[in-house]
Each structure stands twice: as C-alpha cells, then as structure tokens.
Amino acid sequence: MEYILTIVVLIAIFVILSSSYNLVIGYGGLATVAHPIFYALGAYTSALLGIHFGLPAAICVLAGALVAVVASILLALSALRVAGDYLLIASLGFQLGLLQVIKNFEFTGGPGGISAIPNTITGPWRTPAYLLICGGIAALTVWLIARIVHGPYGRAITAMRDEELAFSALGRNAMTIKVVVFAIGCGIAGIAGGLYAFYFQYVSPDQFEVLHSAAMLTMVVLGGMGTTMGPVVGAVVLIAIPQAITFLNLPPAVMAPMQGIIFTTLVMLFLFLRPAGLVGPLSRDRMAGRTALEKSSGGVAE
C-alpha cells in the first residue's frame, strides 16, 4: 500500500512538471529541453537550505522556485536573442553544463547526491500527508495554468506563437511574454523539485539527466500538447505502466532495462500512431498544440 501511495506522490510531482513544461513548450512554443535542470535547482536549493539552515520546508521550497526562476530568466535572455531553434541547443547546453557542475561540487554531494534531508512530517500519516500536499499543489498548478492560458494573457501567448512578427507589429513585446512564460514554467518545476527533495529525503544528479526532459516531453505529447488535461493524463500513464511490471519479480539486472524498453517503446508508438495525444476530440486547444509541434523553423515567408 505504502508503495502504491509513493507512486501516486511521484505521479503528482510529475503532473506538476509536465503541466509546467506544457505551458512553456505547448502554449509558449518555446523549444527547451532544460526542464529537468530547473527541477534540479528547486530540489537542490530546498534540500541544502533545509539541511544547513533548518528553514521551514515551505520556505525552502519557495526559495528553490525562486532560484529556478532567476536561472530561467538568465537562460531565456541570452538564448532568445538568437532567432530560430537556438533555444533548443542553448537549453541543452545549459542542462548538461549545470548538471555537470552539480556532479562536481562538494557541497552538492557530487555524483552521490544529498541524503539526510530533514524529515518534516513524521509518523504513519507521512505519505498520505505528502500525497495531499503534492496532489493539492498539482491541482493548483493545473488550475493556475488553465487560468493563464484561457484569459487575455493566454490569447497574447497564442498570438505570439502563431505569428510572432505580426504580434510584435501590434505593439507587443514578444520577448517579455516569452521570458515571463518561461520563468513561470521553470519556477513551477522548481517547486516540484522542492517537493521531491522533502518527500524522498534524497536527491542525486541521476534524477535530473537530460533524458528526463524526453520523459516529460513525452508525457506532454502523449496526453496532448497544448491542452490542459493532456499532461496530467500523460504523467499518469507513463509513470504507472512501467511501474506495473515491478510486480513481476524480475531480477534487477533485467528489470531496469525492461522498464526502460517499455517506456521508450510507449513513447515511440505514441509519437507515430497518435501524435496529437490522448486528450479530447480535435478541439481548438489541440489544434493549437499541433501547430506548436508542427511549425517548422521557417521564418517569415514572402
């Protein structure tokens, strides 16, 4: 039972991650692969603050989010200056470089990571309490993002993604919108990191490798990019299914790669068979997502 609850907590954390990632790539149209590193920044910041300063968990988590926001603004400001798909490459470099730094510094625990993060909730109700907190924050995230993208601000984001030049020529600063969307998305990822650190009481660089951005991306795509509920569905499916085979009692040397194979096969199947995702009929939301994915890097024609 405890095991299943833990999986549910993990799902809630990934709902936060995939929803915020969806805000950035699905709605904002910003092709980044650095989402795991902002998750890592949140996790490491709150873990270190918790261990060394004994601050309350909530403050640590918020500080982690703040660090993620600041870092994301730095990345956005430098990478978005160059047109085209450059953000993709710049974010890849940012992700790889920063993780390498984390792996090498003493105070981040090197490749072994940080353990003994203070336990904030004790007793038999620990996991259910975390489930409530993480689930609540996940629901809040989904709601908040829906609020942002369905109001006038969302309209601006959509217009910016559709035709950036025409949007700018209406007197809007596209750069500001991009940076804001990017920072909000990455800040939320930072919160997810903080939750992870305090629940599992252990963080290591392996959990934030660039491959995880492919996993998050898949959750978004599988559910339906540019839809509110898509990333939620995606996170549930992609975490639950590979976990299911843990009940088969395979030896660990077979288990890990098997889970990986199941995961990657799922991703490729969905990529080719249902590129528009699981959620909803061909709604406007989904069309929006599709354009975001299918829009090539070609600039302004004619």
Examine residue 140 and tell whether it contacts another protein (CB under 8 A): no
Q: Which is nearer to another protein, 129 or 255 (CB)?
A: 255
| In contact, 218 and 233? CB cutoff 8 Å | no
Contact partners, residue 28, CB within 8 Å, separation at least 6: 157, 160, 161, 177, 178, 181, 182, 185
Among 118, 119, 256, 274, binds another protein (CB under 8 A): 256
Asked if residues 212 and 264 have their Cβ atoms less than 8 Å apart, the reply is no
Candidates 198, 240, 182, 157; CA nearest to 35 is: 182
73 lines the binding site for another protein (CB under 8 A): no
Binding flag, residue 275, another protein (CB under 8 A): yes
Given the structure tokens 């625990």, which residue do they identify?
Answer: 109
| Binding to another protein in span 6-25, by CB under 8 A | 25
Residue 82 binding another protein, by CB under 8 A: yes
Segment contacting another protein (CB under 8 A): 58-66, 115-123, 237-245, 261-269?
261-269
Closest approach of another protein to the CB of residue 189, in Å: 17
Tokens of 69: 């926001």
To another protein, the closest distance from the beta carbon of 18 in angstroms equals 13
Region 162-221 residues binding another protein, contact defined as CB under 8 A: 162-163, 165-174, 177, 180, 184, 210-211, 214, 217-218, 221
Confirm or reject binding of residue 300 to another protein (CB under 8 A): yes
- 253 vs 255: CA distance, rounded Å: 6
Under the binding rule (CB under 8 A), the answer on residue 246 touching another protein is: no
H-helix segments, 205-273: 211-223, 230-244, 252-273
Measured CA to CA, the distance from residue 113 to residue 134 in angstroms comes to 23
Q: Per-residue x/- mask for another protein, residues 87 to 126, rule CB under 8 A? A: -xxx-xxx-xx--xx--x----------------------
What's the start-to-end Cα distance of the chain, in Å?
61
